[in-house]
Amino acid sequence: MELAFYIAAAVAIISTALMLRDVNVVHALLYLIVSLLAVAVVFYVIGAPFVAALEVIIYAGAIVVLFVFVVMMLNLGEQAMTQEKGWLTPGIWFGPTLLAGVLLCEVAYLVVQGGGAQLEAGMVTPKQVGIVLFGPYLIGVELASMLLLAGLVGAYHLGVRTTKRMDV
């Protein structure tokens, strides 16, 4: 079980570093998705399946869609379309696919071994969600939100265009 935790943590750290290093916004977004999925695996391994599900649904799902819309709004014009076609090569998928494959193998191993959190059927109230999110998992939730903020600032920084002022 510890090995699964360390593998997922290493994938999260590597993909986050690659996300921050990458100049291409689309590539950085792919690494961000892998990083968020790795954090969800970490939450699952430490016995927090609900927080892991929230990580996947809210962060890796809804907020990444928001980032896709930001990227779409920043890339305007014919030159951006030509540049984007150059990005869509099979080679850009190698890194994120490799890291996501490691996570997939790890989750499959955990399911076969019966490790991770023991899921119980039952009703979860909003009060219980609030107690969990603002209780023992507060730091994990806040760190994930800081990661998203860093990604948003990076996307804005990469998307800012400087225009030359022409005096007539």
What single string gives the DSSP state of each residue in 90-130? GGGGHHHHHHHHHHHHHHHHHHHHT-S---------HHHHH
CB atoms within 10 A of CB 163: 5
| Averaged pLDDT of the chain | 78
Report yes or no on 111 lying in a domain.
yes
**For the chain, how many structural domains are there in total?**
1
Mean of the pLDDT values across residues 56-73?
A: 77
Report yes or no on 165 lying in a domain.
no
Q: Check residue 12 and give its pLDDT.
A: 92
Report yes or no on 167 lying in a domain.
no
pLDDT band at 38 (very low <50, low <70, confident <90, very high): very high
CA 147 to chain centre: 8
pLDDT for 121 beyond 90: no
Q: Check residue 122 and give its pLDDT.
A: 62
Mean of the pLDDT values across residues 134-152?
A: 82
Phi, psi (degrees; rounded to nearest 5) at 157: -60, -40
Highest mean pLDDT among 74-88, 105-119, 126-140: 126-140
Cα–Cα nearest to 18, from 26, 10, 27, 9 = 27
Containing structural domain, residue 125: 2-159
Report yes or no on 104 lying in a domain.
yes
Rounded to whole angstroms, how far apart are CA atoms 16 and 5? 16
Cα–Cα nearest to 43, from 26, 22, 27, 57 = 57
Mean of the pLDDT values across residues 109-114?
A: 78
The CA dihedral of 87, 97, 67, 160, to the nearest 10 degrees, is -40
Report yes or no on 32 lying in a domain.
yes
Rounded to whole angstroms, how far apart are CA atoms 122 and 130? 17
Report yes or no on 120 lying in a domain.
yes
Report yes or no on 164 lying in a domain.
no
Report yes or no on 30 lying in a domain.
yes
What CATH number does residue 42 fall under?
Answer: 1.20.120
